[in-house]
Amino acid sequence: MAGKEKRASQGNSVLAAGAMSGTSFDGVDVAVIETDGVEIIGFGEAREVAYGDADRAVLRAAMGAWPGEARADAAAAVVEAAHIAAMANLPPVALLGFHGQTLAHDPDGGRTHQVGDGARLATALGVEVIWDFRSADIGFGGQGAPLAPFYHWACARWIGAASPVAFLNLGGVGNITWVDPLVSAPELPGACVAFDTGPANAPIDDLMASRGLGALDLNGELAAMGEVDLAVLQQALEAPWFSKPPPKSLDRDRFAGLIGAVAELSDADAVATLTAVSAGAVARGIPHLPSRPVQVLVTGGGRKNATMMRMLAEALGCEVIPVEDVGLNGDALEAQAFAYLAVRVVRGLATSAPDTTGVAAPVGGGRRSRPGVPSLESGR
């Protein structure tokens, strides 16, 4: 296994793969870890299979769709095919944790929608698939997100953190996890506090696409050339979302109105302003944590945006570094999280808790599908 020296397991460890398709529509991330569902034992292969322009267009067109809509079925077909391709020629694993593609998320309405049928993947890949991680949490009053915090706790223990640290994931939406690695299990009170901070890459990516500037602001180069419109920034950060205490989680397009707010700005100024909003959103979330972190470890695509990272450091007033600086893989971490959660599901362990999603009590989510067992999903 790659990474630090392989560690001894507290129980029977297994090799598990996780697969993640995020709201940035960049592609499918697949990663293998060895874990017993509590500690990380070691890391295996990680890879990304990018979506082509046509597939990305199908996914974008399906955002906001609920089950039964034709555009959701089209997105499901893209997601399933991409995951099957991404898993090709991986070393044998015992389990696959499959997140699917979130199209709509309405936790206050008690519903969420991730497309991709785990039973189809199980049959196509010949491996047991754990999927539909969010529904059980929502069914018990939780937000259904974020789901990576328990893995962040395991990562904090892997890197040998001796005091609380914060993990910040910057995908389409931002989420933060405050972790105390000295608490003996992630579901226990005081181990993890997590919530969505607000928009991250989604408004930036959508603006770039709408203005024909590409899929993303590569390395934050366009934002670096612009000036932040302070009036737009202040107005955006006055939204009630930012003062709302956790638990809280966002639909990707909750802040889609930001595109209109910067419509009159130049390309560079518009992207700079949206980047500042994303950084400011994180800063507005810090008071909701049990203590102010002295170090924020950043994962997700946003860590590759130098302008975003600079704005975060200025807004937070603490060390802000990519997770690679502590020996983790920011491209693979979210996929690894679903491998870890898959093992926890099989072991009967919790996957979320009151301080991570607002669920009434620690709960284990996820459906199990074995190869050759027909899907119960209707439709396609």
Tens digit of each residue's pLDDT (9 = 90 or more) over 163-185:
999 999 999 999 999 999 999 99
pTM summary value: 0.94
Q: Is 195 in contact with 178 (CB distance < 8 Å)?
A: no
- pLDDT per residue rounded down to tens, the chain (380 residues): 444 556 665 568 999 999 999 877 889 999 999 999 999 999 999 999 999 999 999 998 999 999 999 999 999 999 999 999 999 999 999 999 999 999 999 998 999 999 999 999 999 999 999 999 999 999 999 999 999 999 999 999 999 999 999 999 999 999 999 999 999 999 999 999 999 999 999 999 999 999 999 999 999 999 999 999 999 999 999 999 999 999 999 888 889 899 999 999 999 999 999 999 999 999 999 999 999 998 999 999 999 999 999 999 999 999 999 999 999 999 999 999 999 999 999 999 999 999 999 999 999 999 999 998 766 543 44
Residues 224, 309 within the same domain: yes
Q: Is residue 155 part of a domain?
A: no
CA–CA separation, 9 and 177 (whole Å): 25
Q: Is residue 3 part of a domain?
A: no
Residues 235, 347 within the same domain: no
Nearest-CA neighbor of 149 among 358, 313, 294? 358
Rounded to the nearest angstrom, the gap between the alpha carbon of residue 294 and the centroid of all alpha carbons in its chain is: 22
Residues 288, 317 within the same domain: yes
Paired tokens of 358: 């607002």
Residues 319, 189 within the same domain: yes
Q: Is residue 173 part of a domain?
A: yes
Which residue, of 326, 345, 361, is where some domain finishes? 326
Q: Determine the pLDDT at residue 26.
A: 85
Q: Is residue 64 part of a domain?
A: yes
Nearest-CA neighbor of 275 among 195, 174, 166, 175? 174
Q: Is residue 6 part of a domain?
A: no
Q: Is residue 376 part of a domain?
A: no
CA–CA separation, 279 and 268 (whole Å): 17
Residues 137, 172 within the same domain: no
Residues 322, 338 within the same domain: no
Q: What are the backbone dihedrals phi and psi of residue 184, each rounded to the nearest 5 degrees, phi first?
A: -80, -10
Q: Determine the pLDDT at residue 65.
A: 94
CATH number, domain with residue 187 = 3.30.420.40
Domain membership of residue 290 as a residue range: 160-326
Q: Is residue 1 part of a domain?
A: no
Q: Determine the pLDDT at residue 372.
A: 82
Residues 123, 173 within the same domain: no
Give residue 6's region: left, alpha or beta (phi > 0; psi -120 to 50).
beta
Q: Determine the pLDDT at residue 264.
A: 98
Residues 194, 322 within the same domain: yes
Residues 106, 231 within the same domain: no
Residues 200, 175 within the same domain: yes
Residues 179, 258 within the same domain: yes
Q: What are the backbone dihedrals phi and psi of residue 171, each rounded to the nearest 5 degrees, phi first?
A: -105, -140
Q: Determine the pLDDT at residue 3.
A: 42
Domain count, the chain: 2
CA–CA separation, 73 and 325 (whole Å): 40
Q: Determine the pLDDT at residue 380.
A: 44
Residues 288, 345 within the same domain: no
CA–CA separation, 258 and 260 (whole Å): 5
Paired tokens of 220: 């934050």
Nearest-CA neighbor of 304 among 324, 286, 319, 290? 324
Q: Determine the pLDDT at residue 192.
A: 98
Q: Is residue 2 part of a domain?
A: no
Q: Is 348 in contact with 364 (CB distance < 8 Å)?
A: yes
Paired tokens of 12: 């029977």
